[in-house]
Chains A and B, each alone.
Chain A
Amino acid sequence: MPDTIDADLVRRIARLSRIELTDAEVHTFARQFPAILDSFEKLQELDTDTIEPMAHAIELHDVFADDVPHESLTPDAALANAPERDGDFFKVPKVIGDSQ
């Protein structure tokens, strides 16, 4: 079932998670993850073939708000915590070429 957790797999998950890890962190996580994932394996003991998944304990369906205009944050309020802004826009560094 699960892959063997090694440094390479931790690096791959970190890339998917958009978190840069130091080598020391990679090795700590590679050491800790097997026991945690092993504890998750316990669920495989249970036969759940006929059980419906339950994403929410209190099932509410089709909750609609009235379709009326209301005030929302002003651009200044929405941008107040931005690390960098340009007028009414969030600013990011120049991106050249393709990202992965």
Chain B
Amino acid sequence: MSVLNLSAVELRDALARGDVSSEQATRAYLDAITARDETLGSYTEVLTERAIEQARFADARRGGGEAPQALAGLPLAIKDNLCTEYGRTTCASRMLADFRAPYTATSVRKLEQAGAVILGKTNMDEFAMGSSTEHSAVRPTRNPWDPDRVPGGSSGGSAAAVAGRLCAGALGSDTGGSIRQPAAFCGVVGMKPTYGRISRYGLVAFGSSLDQIGPLTVDVRDCALLLGALSGHDPLDSTSLDRPVPDYLAAVDRPIDKLRIGLPREFYSDALDPEIASALQHAAELYTAQGAEVVDVSLPHSRIDVDDQGNLSSYAVACYYIVCMAEASSNLARYDGVHYGHRTSRDVDDIIDLYSRSRAEGFGDEVKRRILLGTYALSSGYYDAYYNKALKVRRLIKSDFDAAFQRCDVLLCPTAPTTAFRLGEKVADPLTMYLQDIYTISLNLSGLPGLVVPTGTSTAGLPIGMQLIGPVLSEETLLRAGRMYEVASGVSRLVPPGLEFKVRG
């Protein structure tokens, strides 16, 4: 039996029983990374020695008869925008190529306090800006289902590492869909929790009112396991919520009686790939067969319009990009070539030159594009027309969700308009790339939790993921509903082609 065949929950139990040691499991993942990540490109840095040391420590602790920890000895990966006192924290940017953080993110600290082993840092779109991981300054990540296709983004490294069985689970971050869209593209489970459920302390800031950390795993139970370890109030993040953390793992196998599932009619339009629409319809039928009631709901301000030429547009996309670019331009002002990060080696005439050249050399195209547009949207004379207008529309978008949740418990939605696209297909056209986010961004604007669960593969053999959205702090409901789907459909733990013999062997 290969440990790569186990889910995180199963591996944790096998470790607790002593069937396998953490050092064996960790080495199995490290060997798999050595063998396969050169092609996949899911890691920016592998922390081999430290991981083995952590694994030995976990084994010694278990041997010493101490009380078992929630994640004892479990080898995980973390997105490279989470600060760690060890290794580098690069955000896949030249700006931070040599940055060594002076502290560790609370989310990572919590994993380690629960006994986890950190295998390494995962690849991403630079500063989490992108939907394909092609905007990584290190290298693009490839989709384990088809190396000519993107894994999605920005947490593409984490999703590819989980799907490719190069870790037992991973952390990503989601500002507009950056956990959920890659989860759908790679056939894994991914959750963006409620804004504030998990501390953002030590997450390199992009859009501070939107950013949230969350887990990517092979199945829903694993998601429940990691979410439980990550959640809770943190005095170091004043936006983290001081609310009790349920035992998600204990609850996840309990089906929900008389679940009310809302289908937002605006999301089931011509903009959606018919194969994805039919997968979602099948999911709705499976829920109905288990006693759920399906209701038609409306999210008018998240509507997707298609014009005569087939061009998409959406209030939510416009609102989201104004807000996130404005926040990005402000957050990324800190990269000045003085305090940390890249400094130009060219001669400069004055301090403005030093800033402008350091930033020109340190940032890639997409980051520059967003800083420029965000600066424009916040500049004198345009603030009301763009930023302030977007904040008002943001309230309208959230009010739509409030109204929908009067009539249902969860919304069943698409995650992305298509399955994984080809490398190079959209990278030259930023607006087309932004429209990848039409089904995911409304929820970041509204602070709501969302869970993506694979529903199988398309006729082309690419994964499809459904998205369940719930009210604030409804993570337990989402996990239970997601698990109901896994059980009823028999679809769980999709394995990319070519990995079957290694994993199932």
Contacts and interface: CB of A to CB of B under 8 A. Distances in A.
A39 B318 contact: yes
Given A81-B341, A93-B351, A60 B398 contact: no
B338 A17 contact: no
Nearest to A1: B385
Contacts of A41: 318
Nearest to B353: A20
Given A10-B372, A80-B100, A20 B317 contact: no
A95 B351 contact: yes
A92 to B, nearest CB: 6
A25 B3 CA distance: 48
Interface of A: 1-2, 10, 13-21, 25, 28-29, 32-33, 35-37, 39-46, 48, 51-58, 60, 63, 65, 73, 77-78, 80-84, 90, 92-93, 95-97, 99-100
Interface of B: 98-100, 102-103, 194-196, 209, 235, 238-239, 241, 301, 313-315, 317-319, 321-322, 329, 333, 336-343, 348, 350-357, 359-360, 363, 365, 368-369, 371-373, 375-377, 379, 382, 385-386, 388-396, 398, 430-431, 434, 445-448, 472
Nearest to B209: A56
B379 A13 contact: yes
29 contacts: A13-B375, A17-B329, A18-B356, A19-B372, A20-B353, A33-B372, A36-B373, A36-B431, A36-B434, A39-B434, A40-B321, A42-B313, A42-B318, A43-B389, A46-B393, A51-B392, A53-B391, A53-B395, A55-B209, A55-B391, A56-B239, A57-B394, A57-B445, A57-B447, A58-B196, A81-B98, A81-B339, A83-B340, A99-B350
A41 to B, nearest CB: 8
A41 B130 CA distance: 22
A77 B339 CA distance: 12
B393 A21 contact: no
Given A48-B393, A57-B398, A81 B351 contact: no
Given A19-B372, A57-B394, 20 more contacts: A13-B376, A14-B356, A17-B371, A17-B375, A21-B360, A21-B368, A28-B365, A32-B369, A32-B431, A40-B318, A40-B377, A41-B318, A46-B393, A53-B391, A57-B448, A58-B447, A81-B99, A90-B339, A92-B354, A99-B351
Contact of B391 (A15, A19, A35, A54): A54
Given A81-B100, A81-B339, A54 B352 contact: no
B350 A77 contact: no
Contacts of B368: 19, 21, 25, 29
Contacts of B313: 39, 42
B350 A95 contact: yes
Q: Is the interface of B mostly helix, strand, loop or mixed?
A: helix
Contact of B355 (A18, A25, A52, A84): A18
Contacts of B393: 43, 46, 48, 51
Contacts of B377: 40
A32 B239 CA distance: 35
A83 B385 contact: no
B343 to A, nearest CB: 4
Contact of B388 (A28, A40, A53, A93): A53
A64 to B, nearest CB: 9
A80 B238 CA distance: 26
B430 A32 contact: yes
Nearest to A63: B238
Contacts of A15: 356
A57 B343 CA distance: 36
